[in-house]
Structure 1
Amino acid sequence: MALFLIFALGLLGVAALIAPPLWRRYRRHQLTKQPFPQAWRRILRRRVPQIAQLPADLQMRLKGLIQVFLAEKPIIGCGDLEVTDEMRVTIAAQACLLLLGVTRGMYPNLRQVLLYPGAFVVDRPVNAPGGVMQDQRRALAGESWVQGQVLLSWRDVVMGAADPADGQNVVVHEFAHQLDQLKGFANGAPLLKSRAAYERWSRVMAAEYQALQWRSAQGDAGLLSAYGATDPAEFFAVASEVFFEQPREMAVLHPALYGELAGYYRLDPLSWN
C-alpha cells in the first residue's frame, strides 16, 4: 500500500509538471484560431508598415503570435498613460517579429511591459573620480530587465515602427535583450542549439564587435549604431535592429553577421520584399 501511494504521488508530481505546458499549448492554439480583429488589422496598417512586407504565411503567423502575446503579457501604463489597443497591438507586433522563425516560448521570463508616454528617467551607478560610485540620471527610450520587465517609451515605439528601413527600433532592441536574458543574464550570446553553434557565434560576433569598436573610436560606426560598441549585449540588440530593418545592407556589408542572425532567428528578411 505504501509503495502504491508513493508511486501514485510520483505520478501526480509528473502530471503536475506536464499539465501546465500542455494546457498552455492548447490555450495558445485556441487563441490563434480566433479571428484576428479588424480593428487590430487597421492598427497594423497604420502603425507598423513593415508587416505589409511580410509574405502572407508569415503575416498569418505573426497575427497568431500577437493574439497570444496580448493574452499573456500585460502592458501597463506609467506616468498617467492610459494604454489603448493601438499601443498594445503596435508593441506586440514588433515584439513578435523576433519570434516569427521560432517562438522560444513566447518570452517565458517576461511578466509585464511598462509603457511610458515618452523617455523615462532612471538612476544608474557610475564610477566617479576617486573610485566612488555615484548614481547618474539618464533618460531612456527602453530597457529590458532580467527580473521580467520591459520598459518602453510610447513616443519611441511609434518612431521606431514608422520607418521600417532606418535600422532603429526600440521594441526589437529591448526584446532582443529579453531573448539574450533567457539564461539569467545578458552577454550577447543567446541560447543556441549546440557547442559548435556557440563557437561560430562567438567567432563572428567577437570580430564584428571589435570592428565596430574600432570604427566608433574613429568617429564612423557605419551601418551599426555606435551604441552597439558599448558591450556585447548591446551589440547583439543593435545588430538585431539592423537585421530586421536593413537586411540588404547588412548582408552586403556584414555577410557573416547576417548569416549568424538569420540562423538564430531562423528568418531571412532579404526575401520579404
Structure 2
Amino acid sequence: MRRHELTDQEWALLAPLIPRAAAGRPRVSGRQVINGMVYKIRTGISWRGLPERYGSWQTVCTRFRRYAIDGVFTRALQQIQARADAVGDIDWLVQIDSTIVRAHQHAATTGRKGGSTQDEPDDHALGRSRGGLTTKVHLASDGKGRPLAVLITPGQRHGSVCARTLLERIRVPRTCLGRPRCRPDHVIADKAYSSRGFRGYLRQRGIAHTIPEKNDQRKHRRNRGRRGGRPPGFDRETYRRRNAVERCFNRLKGFRGIATRHDKTATSYEAAVSLASLLLWARSL
C-alpha cells in the first residue's frame, strides 16, 4: 500500500458499496480507480497529473464523473452510516455549521451559456465574495465528529437559510425493516442559526436544540417586556460539544482537493466531499 491509498480493511468495507459492470469488456480494477480518486482529492492535483500506476487518467476521471452524477458516493455514505447505526455507534447529538472554500481559477472557467442540467445548479455553487469566487460547505456531523449530511452552496449563502435543507438531508437507512432515520435527538449550532423560524422548525419536528441567542435578539426581547416571551433554553455544558463539527471540518480540509475547490461543477465537488466523508467513516469503524 502506498501513501494516500486505501488499506485492505478500508477496501474490504468499501468494495461492496461500489457498483460493478454487469457486461462488456473487462474494466480497470475498482480498487485501482478508487485509489486514483482518493489520491486526486488528497493531493489536489489535476486529473492529468495522476501517477501512471492508477492507469489512464481519462478512465479515473470518467468513472468519478459517472459516480458523481449517479450519486454513488452519497448512497455509499448512507450505507456505511446504516451499519454504524445498527450497532449503536452513531451519536445523535448533531452539530451543524458551514465553512468557506476558495475556488481555484480552474473551477471558475465553467461555461454557463448552456444553462444547467438536471443535477447541476445554474451558478455551479460558485458565489462572489470579497475574496473572489467561493463555495460554502454546510455540514451536519454526529457527536463523534463524523459527517452525516453535506450541502454545497455559493459562498455568499448564509448558513441559517440552508439549515432546514441540511437537516432534511440526514437519511440513515435501517439494516432491517423500517423507514430511514432522519431526525436527530439534539441539534447544536452557533449564533448564526439563532432565529425564530429555525427554532420553530426544530420544535415542530420534536428536536431539542442548544443555540445561543444573539445580543440584538436578547435586547429586542427584553424591550418588549412580557410580549417578548421567555428566553430560549441554553445549556452551556451541551454547547461545549459543538467543537466536534469544527474538528470534522479540519479533517475534511486535510484533503487538499476539498480545502480548495478545483472542480468545475458543483456535482463533482459534492461527490469529492462525500468520498472524503466516506473515508472518515471507514477509518472510524
Q: TM-score, normalised by structure 1?
A: 0.24
- Which gives a bigger RCO, structure 1 or 2 (Cα 8 Å, sep 6+)? 2
